[in-house]
Structure 1
């Protein structure tokens, strides 16, 4: 019933996804923002919400453009539900911006499956991820994804290996130039915070523990079947699917390394995790199990709001 609704009711699908994201966004600000709700604040939050919506649409574009699912749009539904699982992911504006640029970089990395304009794609990917790192330092870990993609494609062209580093250098030079112009200092504009914290005490609450347990258990379970199913994909698409797995692993390490574990760091994990779980839902043969699996992911975040 649930899967049939989301497969057939495509006209209101995006409205539902945007509403869930809006609900997560509003609840996070009611519970976690100690600031007067004046016009300037509301204007900034409205713009930030647009960035969240842009991330959802970008995720949908990446998936459809590269045939990463069966085009049932489960990935954007799951992404919005993940925001509701951990509403704190919508609080940190730097993380929201950084995640958007990571998705832009991921789009260019996945497009490497087409041999045309390889140099431009590598340069663009490095540019986007470098910009993401300016907003949130540990997003720089996604730079590894570019290099691993070259390994997966068995690219032995030395120039292709140098181009990503040129992209990073380009962003550093431009940012340093702006810093000199604005602050008369080379590194004043940089927001680097390479600290690492292994203090997970902030996650020691019922809502966090349930949300993390459900997301990780469903994610790991889905990843097993997702990985086994890659060999059934067309050869040209296999690296793209492997890239998503690697992106999820990197997103997990961003969570581990995050210096301030306020929940916002989980946002980097949501996009690849949504794609992986959406693929697993596609391949579930038992109708009843598919319904229960999706129902749990829909019901649990709403239950957590009452805790």
Structure 2
């Protein structure tokens, strides 16, 4: 039996040849990508050809080795997926470095289309799905203006899934207004509101407390608020998980490990204040799980609590 399994999983001569050829193809494609995307970097380098060749060789070797390692876990006929995945990764990362706006816009469009496709999944929540679909489309338009064209898809979704309710047709306008409010808030808090309120901005940020609050280099206040919020939700989840089944206890320990990791990162790397975002992962998991089992009154309390925490974070984290 073991011999049959090894025969079915280990690559044969033909598969090895395929892996070599696929790795070489990825290497050639990387050379083309280097020449197109990394021309400024190559011009600054003293030995551009040698460095590009070294990077290409590392890519080829990595693709080949990863495929060999994976060959012991999947069938040989599926090994092309490993090579293709590595190729997409090594080809995509340099390109994404130059097209981050398009990447963010595509992600937001995906979130929008996801809400469109789920309009009818939960009766009574159609308007919320339409709202978030239009909201994400407008957000994507901040990064790539052409993404606003997907607003037509939102209205097609309304036409297909909920055409009879006239209020549903007006919901996308509310999503547009909400995204505009978010844009104005972003301008005021992060950029001083120069684009919208130049006079108010000059007066507000000329006050003595502005440098200590709105443009502070440290983030101690925000960190303390986030720690308190996370600890409160953690205590709620502790009471819920400890009296339940073994799988929930296991998830609880996983969340604990996530929270501990985030805390260690924030303490050891305090100067990199943006790493506080690692707190959002366990906090989101805890909150999502608490929402799933909370009563109506508890859910209302948690929503207000999250709104306050988000507002404080927006004002004091720069």
Which TM bucket (shorter chain)?
Answer: 0.3 to 0.5
Task: Compute the TM-score of the two structures, normalised by the length of structure 2.
Answer: 0.34
Greater relative contact order structure (CA < 8 Å, 6+ sep): 1
Greater C-alpha radius of gyration? 2
Q: Normalization by structure 1: what TM-score? A: 0.35
